[in-house]
Amino acid sequence: MDWKAHGIRIVRAGELDTNTPQTPGMTRAAAITHATAGAQKLWAGTVVVEPDAKTGAHHHGELETVLYIVKGRARFRWGEKLEYVDEAGPGDFIYVPPFVPHQEINARRELPVEAVVVRSGQEPIVVNLDIESPEAQSQAPQNQTPGGFHPPHGR
């Protein structure tokens, strides 16, 4: 085996691929994909979520997702009616199991959220759901976008 060619691959900060599907209020960059590192079962990248942005309700089919919050404060809602809620900050990990209806929200109006995202597959599975968010309607208008912190992405 040629370990130099087929061993560890380091994707440098300046090599992240921003040629990924983008959503208003969110900037995504792919780091570990089949194309960049030869990954077969994982996708990893970054997402920056602008202040006051949120996703619509959705799930990712059979995929598992892990997020690591680098900066900012993220609020997550989940459940059949998005009835459960919790927040995560810098240093926190979030695990989203397969098929769990959820919504991601930047919990701060003045600061972006920066996160690392890792998914158990490279298929662009995002199933948007018709579930109204229980987020307070009295807040300033938010950018609501499908897909959120878990971007659809290809190889």
Count the domains in the chain: 1
Q: Is 152 a domain residue?
A: no
Give the range of the structural domain holding residue 108, as residue numbers without chain letter: 14-145
Q: At CA 12, angle to CA 6 and CA 13, rounded to 5?
A: 150
By DSSP bridging, strand 113-119 and strand 65-71 are: antiparallel
pLDDT at 136: 63
Convert the pLDDT of each residue in 76-105 to its tens digit: 999 999 999 999 999 999 999 999 999 999
Instruction: Give the CATH number for residue 125.
Output: 2.60.120.10
Q: Is 127 a domain residue?
A: yes
Q: Which amino acid is at 151?
A: P
pTM of the prediction? 0.84
Q: Is 30 a domain residue?
A: yes
Q: Is 139 a domain residue?
A: yes
By DSSP bridging, strand 53-55 and strand 143-145 are: parallel
pLDDT at 122: 86
**pLDDT < 70 regions, the chain:** 23, 136-155
Q: Is 101 a domain residue?
A: yes
